[in-house]
Each structure stands twice: as C-alpha cells, then as structure tokens.
Structure 1
Amino acid sequence: MSYAQVNSGAGRDTTSAEDVTAFLRTSVAALLDVTPESVDTGRPLRDLGLDSMRIVSLVAALSQHLDRPVPGWVVWQYPTITALAAHLAGTAPLPAAPAAPVRAEDGEPIAVVGLGCRLPGGVDTPEQLWQALTDGLDAVREVPADRWNVHEWLDPDPRAPGRMNTRWGGFLDDVSRFDAELFRISPAEARHMDPQQRMALEVAWAALEDARIVPGSLSGSRTGVFLGAMAQEYHLATGADPEAIGTHSAVGWDNSVIPARIAYTLGLQGPVMAVATACSSSLTATHLAVQSLRRGESDLALAGGVNVMLHPHTTVAMTKFGGMNPDGQCRAFDAGAAGYVRGEGAGVVVLRRLSDALAAGDRVYAVIRGTAVNNDGASNGLTAPNPQAQADVVRAAWQDAGVQPRDVSYVEAHGTGTLLGDPVEAEALGTVFAEGRTENLRLGSAKTNFGHLEPAAGVVGLLKTALALHHGELPASLHFDEPNPHIDFERNRLSVVAEHQPWPAAPRRYAGVSGFGFGGTNAHVALEEAPDRRRTLRPLTADGEQALQDSVTALTGGTTASGGAPASGGAPASGGAPASGGAPASGGAP
C-alpha cells in the first residue's frame, strides 16, 4: 500500500489511542517503505528514519485523518507513536509540575556515589582500575596498527616537518566497539558518531549502574551532564572525504553533542554542557557540576571527560610544541622528566548532595568538600604555567572546603613529567601546604600509569583518589627513580608515593586533585573520605519513652549512645540500599 493510499480516506470522528497508533504505524511504514509490523512505536520518529519534511507531512495527514488540526509541535513534545497516540486520545498523563529546586546549604559537601571508566590496559570498571593501580600497571604501548602507521610518521628529530618523535601512547583496545542497539541508535547514525560520543555514553551508563541507579529511570529528572572534551579527529581519521559526509555527520562530529547525547538517550533535563579548558577540562566540568548541585539546578550530576586519539596530527603538533617524551613515560617529579606521553579513554563520576546520598543509602566513595577554578592570566607566554595562580586555585579550593591545608595528606598532582611543569607545580604546592605540617604532603600522578588523557586526565586522577580514599591505601606513582633536582622537596614538605602503601589514618583523610590547562585554566578539587556510615543519624518515632528506648536498643545491638557505643544506627559503610531511581542493575557498560 502506498503512502497516498493510506491517506486517501475520509476523516474520523472518533479518536482512540489504538486508532491513532494503527494509522501512524501504517503511515510511517509507507513513508519508510517497510512493513507496519517492523515499526517500533516506542522509538522517536526521527530515530525511525523520518526527517523533518516527512514528519511535517505525517502531521498533515494525521490532521486529515482525525478531521481536526494537529499542531506540529506535539511531535516534538510526544516524539514516539505511543506517546503521540496517547496524547491525541486524551489518555496521556498530565505532565507533573516541576519540583522547586532544592538549594543546598552553603558549601554542602557533594558525594561521589558512582564511578565509570574505560582506560588503557583493558580497564573498564572501578574494580579493574583499582587492581591496575595496586598492581602498578603501565598501560602505555606502541601506536596500534588500527590508528596510523607509526613508522611513516616517526622521526627522532622533533624539528622534522610533519613528523612525531614518539611511537608511544596509552591506547585503548578496540576503540570502535559500540553496542548501538542497546541505545536504540541506528547503524547508519552510529557509523557517523565520533567514538568519543559512543564511549562517553557507555561510560556514563556504567557509572550510573555503579551508583545503583537504573539509567532509564532518570527520564525527566533534573540530572546534569558536564563533560570535558577537546580534539575532534574523527573526520580526519575517516579520510576527510566530503562525499562521505551524510545526514548524521554534523551531529556526529560536534563535541557539544557528547554530553547532549547522554542527556537525549536518558531523557535528562538538567544543565548539559561540554567543557573545553584543555588538560583541566574534566576537573572544570566537576567544578561546574558541584556548583549546579549546590544551587539546586541539578539533583544528580554526571561529570568527567573523554579523549580518543584517532589521527596523528595532534601528536605531531605536541611534538612541535615540545611536550612529548620519546621514551613514552610520564616521569612525574623525577629527575628524568622529559615530557609526557599521550593517553586516551573516558571517566565519569556520579555526584549527589551528601544529604541526599545519605538519605538514599548510597554507597559513597568519597566526598567533594570544595572546588575552585582560575586562570594564569598574563604569565611568561600563553602556555607557560603561573606558580602563583596555581597556588591561588589550590588555596581557594581548600578555603571552599573549610579545611586547613596542613590537614591534607595527599595530592593527586597534574604531574605530567615535563621539565618546566613539575617544578612550578611543586613550588605552588609548597606555598600552600608546607606551613605547619607534621609530615610531608604525599604526591602521585595517574598519568604515570595511563599516559596524559588531556581533557579526561583530571577525572582519571579523581577516580584514582576516590578509590584510594575508599580503600584507605595510596597506589604508587610509577617511574620515580630519583627526585627532580630542580624541586626542593624538603623545603616544600613534599614526597612522591613511589611504592603502594597504607594511607595513614588521621582524624579525617583529605586529598586534592589538580588539573592545569595549557591555555591557563587551572582547577583543583578538595576531597574527603566518606563519612562513617555507622554514625549516621537515623530518626526514630515511638508512642512512648519506653518504646523509643526499646527501638534505640534494638538498633544499636543492645548498647545505647549513653553507654559509650556508637550513636544510633545508620546504613553500612559500603553497599547499602539502591539509590533512588531503581534497584541495582546487573552487568556493566554495554
């Protein structure tokens, strides 16, 4: 049956969801030249393959079929056949009035309740990441053949035109893998999607599952997405052929769509933005997420970053910039520091106001107490670091946290292993943390494990530090053989964590994470270990004093707070009930 034949009938006086569904299904099938049975009524019309012109003609035909005007906007408000039919039949539930934003108390801590990652060395889960860190994994390897022919691009002379001086990088396995069907993305659209979009979507999904939140349950929620991204190389990697540009290319290539893709897939309606401040992008994104949660713009937030190396041009450019270590190591704070090695992957943290996380019984890996962002301003060149600005941003984050710098025991440093960057960072850290210390500030850098993930580097450090706080241990920073002679470790009260070690217990464990962009944007995140859930207050009600006392006794296992035992109840320190939004989901990233 042709599309014209489908729409040749007279108008209908009755409107039922079944009638509208049948009409739309048959009409869409005619437009797409498929059988009506193959039309998925739960997918948006656009995803089924209808462009704007065909959607407009479909609405016109629907108006004729129903013998009443159907405004064009309803297809965007109700994008699936099922939703549109229910609306036109009057059976769709009225949209609930949005809840008033919940503005947090000034400086309320933010809980890290979920982690997601995909990193070099086959690291796809938080558990695998912690194992890699404790094992001292060095995931750097030669450029794989599916990226570019390293021999054609390699020259040990960094001045050689159009050549790179390194064969190394932190590369992922099978970067093209993607379960498009799970996300209801057509094969044609998936082919035009930058792998950074695909990976960010998968890792965000996995992070929500790690937080015990069913991703699909968040539709319509005030959930924000803040993701760092930089280079766009997919069109170069696919040949830059103008004849290959298709309907989905504009969306597939645009970095601003990376977080938008997550929001669209899950129906999230909080703030959504891509952040590009170079190597500080993902920590700047985290800063914005924390602000959004505190302001009440978001009730839940995803923050992180993604980076994929698909074409040699960026590595060539960084060779000319003078940043690459030809030996393929980030030797943070070491005498052999000679540049960094590039890395790729993605990391996402799920964030919630601490009061909400405790009320929901969430597992809390760590708590963000404060954040800060600033810029170097006019330093000794656009890309030259400014030690005073770095010190200022670190100090501001701990002021936001309300914590004295002398109480901070660890900093996950920017730590690239560059000749200039490491001494500047060490001096800035000493300026903030040296005074009044009883023991040295410990330093480390996940770049020594996975390479420098550039816009995603900060969130990798955040993941590492959250896990270290969670386990009470400090993983080793690799490739540290001899202290950099240009750093006064003694005066600055600094030491590098060269071996895996227990994290000494203090009244509270505090740690910072730094990220400095080569355009001058600096970010620092102040972390605290998760609260002792055994001491979480739990409200109790009873119909009398004795009943209340009996409840307290039962809750505390026979001892009361007055007897010196822990105060009333609380959720366990780990695990706990599912977060709001659903029961624990099985499996990992798709």
Structure 2
Amino acid sequence: MSKQEKPAEQPSALQRAALLVEKMQARLDAVERARTEPIAVIGLGCRFPGGAVDGSSYWKILRDGVDALREVPESRWDVPGHFDSTRGVPGKMYGTRGGFLDDVEHFDAEFFGISPREAASLDPQQRLVLEVAWEALENAGLAPDQLAGSKTGVFMGVMSSDYMARLLKENDATRFDGYMATGNGYSFVPGRVSYVLGLQGPCMPVDTACSSSLVALHLASESLRAGESNLALAGGVNLILSPETMICLCSMQALASDGRCKTFDASADGYVRGEGCGVLVLKRLSDAQRDGDSILALIRGSAVNHDGASGGLTVPNGPSQQAVVQRALDNARIAPALVGYIEAHGTGTPLGDPIELRALGAVLGKGRPADRPFFIGSVKTNIGHLEPAAGIAGVIKTILSLQHKEIPPHLHFRTPNPHVEWDRIPARVPVERVPWPAHEGRRIAGVSSFGLSGINAHVVLEEAPASTAPTAVAEEDKAQLVVLSAKTPRALSSLAEAWSSFLKNEEGGSLADISYTSALSRTPHEHRLALAAKSKQELIEQLEAFAAGKSHAGLSSGRRGTGLGQKIVFVFPGQGSQWLGMGQRLYAENVTFREAIDWCHEAISRYTDWSLRDLLTNPGQQPRWNDIDVIQPTLFALQVALAAVWRWLGLEPHAVVGHSMGEVAAAHVAGALSLEDAARIICERSKLLRRVSGQGAMAVVDLSREQAEVEIRGAEDRIAIAVSNGPRSTVLSGDPAALKEVLERLERREVFCRWVKVDVASHSPQMDPLRQDLLDRMAAIRPTGSAVPLYSTVTGAPIDGRELSAPYWVRNLRQPVLFADAVQRLIQDGNVLFIELSPHPILVPFVDAMLREGDTSGRGLVVPSLIRDQEEWPSLLSSVGALFTRVIAWTGSGYIPTSVAGLRFLRTRGSASGTGWSCQQLRRRAGSCALAREVIPS
C-alpha cells in the first residue's frame, strides 16, 4: 500500500448490526409475503343438481332462483320399500327428495385408460372427480396431459362410499378383488387424479364431514403458500347411491319433512341431501399473473378449527364459529366491515341457523355502518346439502357472484326465523337477485362450512384483480382458427354441439381468444375438427353443420396419423399461379407477411425499375403486370413472404422443393441463398427470359416422360421435355410450329393436350443462347449449406446447398424440371405433408396424385396457401386446419385464454336392466364386450 492510500474504513459494530437487522427484516418480510399471499382461482369445474355441468349452467340455476330438488331417481334404490311418511319408523325414511345428478351410472372409462373390468368396481365418485378435474384444468386454460411430473397437489373432500355399500350387499366374496379396493378407498379419489395425470405434488382425501371440501381448499392454499405445490386442485364430491345414510339422518330428524331447505326461515325443519362435485384450480397470485392466467377470484385467507368440548358432538358451537370466521379474516388481512356477502353453512335447522347468524353478526358487525348490512344466503336452498362437497358448491356460487357483480336469490325465505335477533344482526337475506356494490373499490365475501363432527372452516374470497394480460392482437373481424379434438368421432360431435350451445348463450371472450384457448388450453386427441371463421356467428354455423354431419366452408375434420411427426414439405411452384390482387389483403392485415414483402422489395429494387410494394398494393395501376421480368420476381417475393407466415404460425419445413423458378425461393427458405443472392438470381433470370419472350410455347400432355420422349423424337433441336409433373403429366416446350404438329398428332389419338398460357419456351433449346449471360450475371452469388433439406428438381434428389452456384442455375433454366422424381423421393423418405406456397395452387393436384399412389401410411396431405379470388387469411387458416386434423399441433399466438365449453366425455351405461347396479351384471357385460367403448360399466 502506498503512503498516499488510506485503508478502507471498516463498518463499526453498530453498522454491522444494523445491516444484519436489515437483512433479517427482508427475510422476514419475504416469509410474511409468502405466508399471506393471495391464492388465485384460475379454473373451475362442477356438476350440480338441476343440470349444472359447468359454471355457466350453474349460474343460470342460481340467477333464476331454481329449486333443483326432486324425488329420488328410481335407479338408486327401491324407494317405496324404504319409505314411510311417519317419522321415527325404524329402517324407514320419511324424506324422498334431494338434489340428484343425472347420468351418474355413465362413465367414459376408455378416455382415462380404465378397462371395463376395473370400471365395474370403480366408485362413481372417483369417476366424477376424474371428469370434473379434467374439465377444471381445461377451464383454467391448461392442457391436462402437460402437467405430468409437476408439483401439482390434489386435495379432495369425500366422506362416504355408497357404492361400496352396494357392492357389499351382494355378499359374494369371490368378487372382492384388488379393483374393489382401489375403486372404493377414499385415498383413491384424489389419488386416481394424480395417477392419471402424472401429478407429483401432495395428494390427500379430506374427511371432516360437511366441511370436507372447504378444509381441502384451505389445505391446498396452505400447500401453495408453503411452496410444496405450484398448482393445486381442490374440491369435493358426494353421491347418494344407497338408502342407509338417508335412513340414519331421518332417525336423527335431520331432514326436512317437505323436501325443501328453508334456511333462515321460521319453518326451517332440517335440510335436504344433495350430490355433486366441484373442483377449483389454484395458483399463487404472483405465479398466475406472471403466466397470464385468467383469474376468476382470489382466496385471501382461510381458517379451520374444532368446537372442542361443547354442548354435544354434533351440536353447533357459536363461539367456535365466531373464532374461525375471525381467524380467516385476520389471515386475509381484511376488516370485517368490508365483507359484503356471506355464503352461509345454512343447513336450515331450527338450532343451527340462529347459532350461525349470531356468530356472523358478532364478527361482521364490528365497525360496520348501520346502512351497509352484509348479504347472506345459502346455495342449499337451490341444490340441497352436498355434505362433503357443500363448501365447494358455496365457493363456486360465490365466485360466480363476484364475476357477475350480483347476488342471486336465496330461496324459501318468507318468515324470518323468530329465534334470530334480526334487529341486532346487520344481515340481509336477498329474496331476489340484487346488485353487489363494491365497498372501498372491493367486493369481498366469506364462505362457511361446519362439519357434523365439530370441524369448522371459513374462506375469505375477493373479486379478481383487473387483468393485466395484453389484449388480443387481432381484430375481431379477422378470421381465426378454432381447433377441437376428442377421442372418438361421436365425442367430437358432442363437443361441437357443446361449443355451439355455449357460444350462443354466453358472451365469452373475443374470437381471437377463443382460438387461443382451443389451441393451447386443450389436450389434442385423435379425432379432430378445425374451423376457420371470421365471426362467432360463422363459428356457430360451422359447429352446427359438423354436429349435423354437413359440410361448411372453412371446416376440416379428420383423424390424426401416428408415427408421422411434423415432417412438412414446402413446395414452391413456378410461374402460373398469379392473379390480379394477390397478396393485397394479406399485406394489409398480417405484419409478418408485410415485413417479409418489404425485405424482398428492398432486395429486388436493386435490379428493377418498378416497385414491388406498389404492384401488390395497387395492382390495377401497373401496366407491366404480365411482363415475365415483373411477375416472376413478384411471385418469388410472395413465396418468401408466405414461408415467413407459415413459420410464424409455428410450421417449420422439414424439407423444401422448388419447381423451375420456384427453386430460387426454395433455396433461400432452406438457407442456401441469402435474400440478396436470391433476388439477383430471380431478377436477372427473368430479364433474360424477357429477351426471348414471344418466341416459344409450352403445352401439357397426358403422357409419361418416356412416352413424350418418343413423340418428340427427331425434333429435339426444336422441342424438349420441359417438365415431368407426374406419372402421366408432362410439359413440352419449344418452337410453336413444331409443338403444334406434335399436339395435333396426339389429339388424333385422343391423348389429352392443353396449351400453357406462356410465350417463353423455358427448359428448351431456346434457352441455350442465354447460357453465358446467365453464368456471367450469377458469378457473384455465394451459396452455402442449407439449414433445411433441399430436394432439387434438376436432379430429382436431395442436393447440398453449396452446389447452387451459377452453373446450377443454368441447368435450372435449361434442363427438364423433374418435379415428379423429387416428390416421389420425398415420399420415399417419409415426407407426406406438403404445403404449396403460392397465390393459387397449381401443383397440389400432382402432389396429391403421387401421395395417393406412393404414401403407404394413408395419412398424406397437400394443402394450398392461398386460392385465387378468395379471402387470403381465411384460405390460409383453412389449410392450417386441414393439417391440424391429420397430424400437426396448432399453437395459436398472441392472445389470452378465455372461458369456453370443455371436453365432453362419452359416457356409456353398463347396467343391464337400467334399474339395478349389480356388480355381477356389470362384470358379465364387461367380459363380453367386443369393443372397449361399447360398454363402459358403472
């Protein structure tokens, strides 16, 4: 150290201590943020009484004040044999109404890879949870099959297995096998979801009686906050399949005598049982916002406690209820006076309702203005008490209320319960639909569930924050591609019907966002449907047409091939596909296309005295439109720009092939030529061709190349084989008079012949005088190895891009175009998906014919990019759709997920009689099933 340098000052002990305290405080703050971070609800699925199969149909039931309770279905048990209207008769039930689901005996076992034999022993609650969990994930914009190996937790409330009780009644020990154990154990309800989807987060059943699903939601939220899960499924399920529990509850006088749940009313005399399933998809709020998820609501906080030693094991404890609500609010950092709605446990019992209302009043009345009561209701008045699934039914109701900013009516409330001090509790029961006003800019709600065993739970919800996701980049009137898929044709038709119904009845997101959701938020299955539509109305018409077995413009359907990958070939044709106005709309509408054209404009302008941009945007004002030295560079530019669009759509070529002048664009797209070199070649080549314009002719003949060679023998100095497009499609080129003689001779033998509308005899002896000029003008090009395999139509085989120097382009102009040879080689090499990049298809028929002859997979397909005089973007999307139906994945781009109808399962009934659920009958049918889908036992 020099004398001038001073030693660095060391921090004092006090400074070091302050720094340490600052670091510790930062860590504590981070821990606190994680501990209290809101949980985002990003998806939901449900099946509830009244035909509620999703959030939309559930909300309709709630909004319209529907009482969805009904008589016990005859298929469940012998109702008359178990009924007695007199209360207290041993072994009998006095109530025969409940909230029942339809179709619980049907299941799409094949979809989940479950054999008919195993399905026979599978508790329908497991089946229901599988389906609803899948639907919830799709609703969240997540493809379920993409979650394998993820830290996704599954927490599911379940408290009984009536199905097991039915099986045990058969009293046949020979049928008690491993399937019965795995099909009916509570742990397998969430466990099977984790197994089928390959989830590796925590997985647990929750049985706290009537609070099970709300406790499951609490545990899932805590798992996310602790970092043990990055995504969670939480919910509950309940099915009423045997009479024993009903009989027990009737013996306890717990059920309403008239089959109606009259929560908070003076006539309340018990509840009505209900069944259903609800599943929520949860994420930490920060993760959901980072990932651009659609957030339905926030879980601000929750709490769980027990009554402890109280008035009785099953007697509600007011102070404990008060404590759990207060703790949940404390955990949520929410002042009680901000709560605007409570979804009450509200079983409609004379004892329970007053206790719950007093507890809520004690907590939520703190600091609350007298003119701002909280609303209170219970979904049990609509669908009954779903027991372990009751909490999740209430949570989903509340989420929907938050989304719609209104509170649905609470049913059967006519005379307030006289045991409640209504004048001392700041609560209002909404008997009709009411707006939900925000307080301090927020809408906050609480949901309660109290288990019969004394386990209480409360969850605090808040309206979702305003979305920060970008709006769709596409205009609403621009065509979009919507893709659907299912495991069978019938399931696909059912899905199309579901989407059609949803779109007719729901506002939903933009067409662009619907396209995105269909592409990225759904698992692609074997049977596929693609729809290129410009509006929701057109999309609905296409869906209805497909469901009815009819065709419609923009509609493609098919079955995905196997073992093909995405080996796509870009095909670049020669001259002949042009039409006035080509590319004009696409240039105006598509940024990728426009940018590529602009790059080509700059490259071409060095060799031309006309404007590519002007020609495309104002085609009617271009007097040289048909000149060969104008149209060929223009077609080249369109081909390059179309390749850029296809790549922007996510479709990369596995190989490229060009036809005559199309080889220039093919070589550039393959990476063998720079844009500058490619522009030089196409411009100089076309200028030389203009020099001989008017001197030649070309014609197509229905002959093989070998047959055509025989026909022109002796005239090779004037006529040549110009093109071999297929096994029986050859183009002749040369002197017009000599060519006319050949055609007249062929026509007399009834051989098909047709003149081509050109006056230049490419690939004929007329090109020989241009050879040296072309070599000189191409001398400066510097080809490189291609990044994409390039198949030459000069040689009919793959070629190294470094061979594309000046001599190659002389051969390209003079020698025959061996297009058929090149395509046949491509097919032999396993390439069976072709896209023609041109303003109108001219090679599609030839490729299609060769695919039908040489593609042994039967999955070959060739599609155009654009079609003459048709709207360009819809035409292109229709081709994307056609490719999707065969093999490719469609990824969408630039939009945000939105809510649409989920996959529809193909459930098949297994019960032989339709009234009984005999395991023996089910297995007998499963064993004789020839087709896996034919009989799916229940």
TM-score bucket (shorter structure)? 0.7 to 0.9
Matched, 1:268 2:199: yes
- Which residue identity lines up with residue 488 of structure 1 in the other structure? E
- Which residue identity lines up with residue 186 of structure 1 in the other structure? S
Corresponding residue of 1:451: 384
Q: Deviations over 1:43-93 (max 9, x none)?
A: xxxxxxxxxxxxxxxxxxxxxxxxxxxxxxxxxxxxxxxxxxxxxxxxxxx
Q: Deviations over 1:433-464 (max 9, x none)?
A: 11221211110111111100000000000000
Corresponding residue of 2:277: 346
Percent of aligned positions that are identical: 52
Corresponding residue of 2:353: 422
Matched, 1:515 2:418: no
CA change 1:293–1:369 in 2 (3 A) is same
d(CA) in 1 for partners of 2:90, 2:229: 48
Secondary structure of 1:358's partner? helix
Corresponding residue of 1:494: 427
Matched, 1:143 2:72: yes
CA change 1:159–1:522 in 2 (3 A) is same
Is the contact between residue 138 and residue 521 of structure 2 (CA under 8 Å) also seen in structure 1?
Answer: no
CA apart distance, 1:490 = 1.9
d(CA) in 2 for partners of 1:511, 1:186: 44
Single out whichever of 504-513 and 370-379 deviates more from structure 2.
504-513
Secondary structure of 1:106's partner? helix
Corresponding residue of 2:113: 184
CA apart distance, 1:582 = 4.3
Q: Deviations over 1:190-225 (max 9, x none)?
A: 110000000011000000010010010000000000
Matched, 1:483 2:416: yes
- Which residue identity lines up with residue 399 of structure 2 in the other structure? A
CA apart distance, 1:256 = 1.1
Corresponding residue of 1:552: none
Corresponding residue of 2:248: 317
Alignment of 1:371-450 (within 5 A): 371-438=302-369, 439-450=372-383
- Which residue identity lines up with residue 228 of structure 1 in the other structure? G
Q: Deviations over 1:227-280 (max 9, x none)?
A: 000111112224332233233111111111000000000000000000000000
Corresponding residue of 1:251: 182
- Which residue identity lines up with residue 132 of structure 1 in the other structure? I
Is the contact between residue 362 and residue 577 of structure 1 (CA under 8 Å) also seen in structure 2?
Answer: no
> Structure 1 length as normaliser, TM-score?
0.74
Matched, 1:474 2:407: yes
d(CA) in 1 for partners of 2:289, 2:357: 36
Alignment gaps of 5+ in structure 1: 1-101, 539-570
- Which residue identity lines up with residue 164 of structure 1 in the other structure? M
CA apart distance, 1:575 = 6.7
CA apart distance, 1:514 = 0.3
CA change 1:478–1:194 in 2 (3 A) is same
**Pairwise CA RMSD:** 2.2
Corresponding residue of 1:164: 93
Is the contact between residue 265 and residue 415 of structure 2 (CA under 8 Å) also seen in structure 1?
Answer: yes
Is the contact between residue 361 and residue 578 of structure 1 (CA under 8 Å) also seen in structure 2?
Answer: no
CA apart distance, 1:577 = 10
CA apart distance, 1:361 = 1.2
Alignment of 1:519-530 (within 5 A): 519-530=453-464
d(CA) in 2 for partners of 1:177, 1:130: 24
d(CA) in 1 for partners of 2:52, 2:104: 13
Alignment gaps of 5+ in structure 2: 1-30, 472-508, 524-900, 906-938
Is the contact between residue 119 and residue 450 of structure 1 (CA under 8 Å) also seen in structure 2?
Answer: yes
Is the contact between residue 294 and residue 467 of structure 2 (CA under 8 Å) also seen in structure 1?
Answer: no
d(CA) in 1 for partners of 2:300, 2:421: 29
Corresponding residue of 1:87: none
Q: Out of 282, 290, 314, which is 1:359 matched to?
A: 290
d(CA) in 2 for partners of 1:398, 1:338: 31
Corresponding residue of 1:36: none
d(CA) in 2 for partners of 1:588, 1:113: 17
Corresponding residue of 1:6: none
- Which residue identity lines up with residue 516 of structure 1 in the other structure? F
- Which residue identity lines up with residue 422 of structure 1 in the other structure? D
CA apart distance, 1:537 = 11
CA change 1:127–1:210 in 2 (3 A) is same
d(CA) in 2 for partners of 1:158, 1:234: 27
Matched, 1:207 2:522: no
CA apart distance, 1:305 = 0.2
Corresponding residue of 1:174: 103
d(CA) in 2 for partners of 1:241, 1:212: 46
Secondary structure of 2:159's partner? coil
d(CA) in 2 for partners of 1:253, 1:360: 37
Single out whichever of 253-262 and 149-158 deviates more from structure 2.
149-158
- Which residue identity lines up with residue 583 of structure 1 in the other structure? S
Secondary structure of 1:350's partner? strand
Corresponding residue of 1:76: none
Corresponding residue of 2:171: 241
- Which residue identity lines up with residue 420 of structure 1 in the other structure? L
Select the structure with the greater relative contact order (CA < 8 A; seq sep ≥ 6): 1
d(CA) in 2 for partners of 1:407, 1:350: 26
Is the contact between residue 215 and residue 457 of structure 2 (CA under 8 Å) also seen in structure 1?
Answer: yes
Q: Deviations over 1:415-440 (max 9, x none)?
A: 11011010000010011011221211
d(CA) in 2 for partners of 1:577, 1:170: 36
Is the contact between residue 144 and residue 522 of structure 2 (CA under 8 Å) also seen in structure 1?
Answer: no
Is the contact between residue 413 and residue 443 of structure 1 (CA under 8 Å) also seen in structure 2?
Answer: yes
CA apart distance, 1:468 = 0.6
Q: Deviations over 1:345-394 (max 9, x none)?
A: 10000000011111111111110000000000011010001000000000
d(CA) in 1 for partners of 2:470, 2:80: 62
- Which residue identity lines up with residue 902 of structure 2 in the other structure? G
CA apart distance, 1:301 = 0.3
Q: Whose radius of gyration is greater, 1 or 2?
A: 2
For this pair of structures, how many residues does the alignment match?
A: 455
Is the contact between residue 414 and residue 516 of structure 1 (CA under 8 Å) also seen in structure 2?
Answer: yes
Matched, 1:587 2:517: no
d(CA) in 1 for partners of 2:151, 2:436: 37
d(CA) in 2 for partners of 1:453, 1:490: 31
Corresponding residue of 1:119: 48
d(CA) in 2 for partners of 1:186, 1:232: 21
Q: Out of 223, 247, 254, which is 1:292 matched to?
A: 223
Secondary structure of 1:409's partner? strand
> Structure 2 length as normaliser, TM-score?
0.47
